Amino acid sequence: MAPVRSPGGPNVGHAGTSRAGFVDRVCFRAKRTTLGQTGGVRLVPQRIQAVAVRQAAAARRAASANAGRSAAATGSATDADDGSPSAVPLPPLPRSPARGARARVHRLPEAHLRADDGSDGVPRWMRKSAGWSWRILVVIALIALLVWATARIQLVFVAVFLALVFTAVLRPLVNVFAKIMPRGLATALGMLSALLFVGGLLTYVITSVTGQWESLSEQFATGIAQLLALAENLPFGLTITEDQVNEWFDQGLAWLQENQGALLDRAAAGAGSVFEVFAALALAIFSTVFFLARGSEMWKWFLNQLPAKVREKWMLAGGVGWYTFSGYARGTVIIALVDGFLAAIILLIARVPLAAPLAVLVFIGAFIPLVGAPAAMIVAMVVALAVNGPINAVLVGIGIALIGQFEGHILQPLVMGKQVSLHPLVVALAVTAGTLVAGILGAVIVIPIVAVIWAVYAKLRSLDPPMEELESDAKPAQA
């Protein structure tokens, strides 16, 4: 049998030489391919070269294995005619990727092609608007569902909200106590201190009202008589006589007698509301104890229930939200205390009776943004007007208005700082919406909720570079 001749190479008479020639041929074909039209030579991309080399190595290993098995079976593989070693048959050469392989192209369905070019008759802007519309509707539906569920469990929601407020206010005090005693004992001491403070304040208000009630009734009657005397001599020909006032009073009594049943029903409903208030307050105090004692462990447990890939975002959002909420709660309490203290000083200087209860009313009104403080101011002015006359009422109103200016321009930026940063227009719209949805309760809770949502969004969002100037303000290009 004649020795195997390698195409384009020397005669091969041994298996090893044959394998080497095969590798050379594969590498040669992998490096050079013929271009049909130009007849030129170009290099195949590096990836095709690597594939060809790996195929050559695999063929060489297969040839070595075949040669070993043949030698083990016959002892010496020789040719029957001339006794020369038999050449190992070469495996077929791999087909050149340039000649045999074709790129596989995945074609999109016609529907996908029509979706981009708008050939179905629907403009692209309308399609995008429809996509955003159903997303917005889903978000609105989720918000409506959340509001409905909150209304169904309003007592629990109010209790948790109050517990968070109490926790935000008392946590710094409990942390100070926890440095010198166990956390549980520090929590108990902090709660006891808060209860003693509130109880002492209520006791002082009640004793002040009961002690001044007799003198207040006499002063109030005198003030009403002075107001009636002034009403008879109003400018622009307007007069209100005492007979007209008595007639109005009689009409009011008649209306009360006619609607006595409805008023009793409302009183019964109010008694149920009072019970709900005490129940919510008790649940809030009970929850505050656990939030103060084990709040960090509870938050860590909640994070561990989430998937690992979202824990970091939840932890970041929770930290920012609590920072904002606690800053708002503590700042509001401090501002309310300062407002009440300054109002008490002004009312005492003006010798207005019931200065302590009116100061407490100003303190409570400070928790309702925009409308709480003006309402308390009007009540204080009415009492001053009825007891001490119009000049004293005007002085009281000016004093409380100065307190409001001091609160808005100095106290709030100093106490809250950057923890709560909302535009006044946002505050006005939020308070209005909260009042329409949930009354006074909505007006109280809507601002911290909006502040927390905005703080979390501002922390997690990614901002693009700001615009240097609006297009309408840009100067026209020079010709």
pTM of the predicted structure, to 2 decimals: 0.62
Mean per-residue pLDDT of the chain? 74
> What are the pLDDT digits (tens) for 333-379?
888 888 888 888 988 888 887 888 888 888 888 887 767 777 787 88
Mean pLDDT throughout 326-339?
88
- The distance of Cα 421 from the centroid of its chain, to the nearest Å, equals 15
Mean pLDDT throughout 19-46?
49
Q: What's the pLDDT score for residue 438?
A: 78
- Which H/E stretch holds residue 343? helix 308-349
Q: What's the pLDDT score for residue 187?
A: 94
Residue 389 has pLDDT above 60, yes or no: yes
Q: What's the pLDDT score for residue 231?
A: 67
- Going by pLDDT thresholds of 50, 70 and 90, the confidence category of residue 289 is very high
Q: What's the pLDDT score for residue 77?
A: 43
Residue 301 has pLDDT above 60, yes or no: yes
Question: Higher confidence at residue 30 or residue 458?
Answer: 458
Strands (E), 312-413: none
| Distance between CA atoms of residues 380 and 362, nearest Å | 9
What percent of the chain is modeled with pLDDT above 70?
A: 67
> What are the pLDDT digits (tens) for 117-131?
555 677 888 888 888
Question: Higher confidence at residue 265 or residue 291?
Answer: 291
> What are the pLDDT digits (tens) for 239-270?
666 677 777 777 877 777 777 777 666 666 65
**Cβ neighbour number for residue 228 with a 10 Å cutoff:** 15
- Going by pLDDT thresholds of 50, 70 and 90, the confidence category of residue 285 is very high
Mean pLDDT throughout 280-293?
93
| Distance between CA atoms of residues 230 and 238, nearest Å | 11
- Going by pLDDT thresholds of 50, 70 and 90, the confidence category of residue 76 is very low
Residue 325 has pLDDT above 50, yes or no: yes
Q: What's the pLDDT score for residue 60?
A: 77
Residue 104 has pLDDT above 60, yes or no: no
- String of DSSP letters for 322-334: HHHHHHHHHHHHH
Tokens for 173, please give them: 């005090």
| Distance between CA atoms of residues 467 and 479, nearest Å | 24
Residue type present at position 111: A
| Distance between CA atoms of residues 57 and 60, nearest Å | 5
> What are the pLDDT digits (tens) for 224-238?
777 777 766 666 556
Tokens for 463, please give them: 């901002």
**Cβ neighbour number for residue 112 with a 10 Å cutoff:** 9
Residue 180 has pLDDT above 80, yes or no: yes
Residues in a beta bridge with 344: none
| Distance between CA atoms of residues 347 and 359, nearest Å | 8
Q: How far are the Cα atoms of 225, 312, 347, 373 from residue 204, in angstroms, in the given order? A: 31, 49, 16, 22
SS3 158: helix
Mean pLDDT throughout 459-467?
72
Cβ pair 41, 34 in contact under 8 A: yes
**Cβ neighbour number for residue 423 with a 10 Å cutoff:** 9
Q: What's the pLDDT score for residue 354?
A: 80
* Sequence ranges of the domains in the chain: 4-100, 306-461
Mean pLDDT throughout 145-155?
84
- Going by pLDDT thresholds of 50, 70 and 90, the confidence category of residue 315 is very high
> What are the pLDDT digits (tens) for 391-450?
888 888 888 888 878 887 788 777 776 667 777 788 888 888 888 887 778 888 888 898
Lowest mean pLDDT among 29-38, 199-208, 238-247: 29-38
Q: What's the pLDDT score for residue 431?
A: 83
**Cβ neighbour number for residue 130 with a 10 Å cutoff:** 11
Mean pLDDT throughout 153-182?
92
Residue 9 has pLDDT above 60, yes or no: no
Residue 10 has pLDDT above 70, yes or no: no
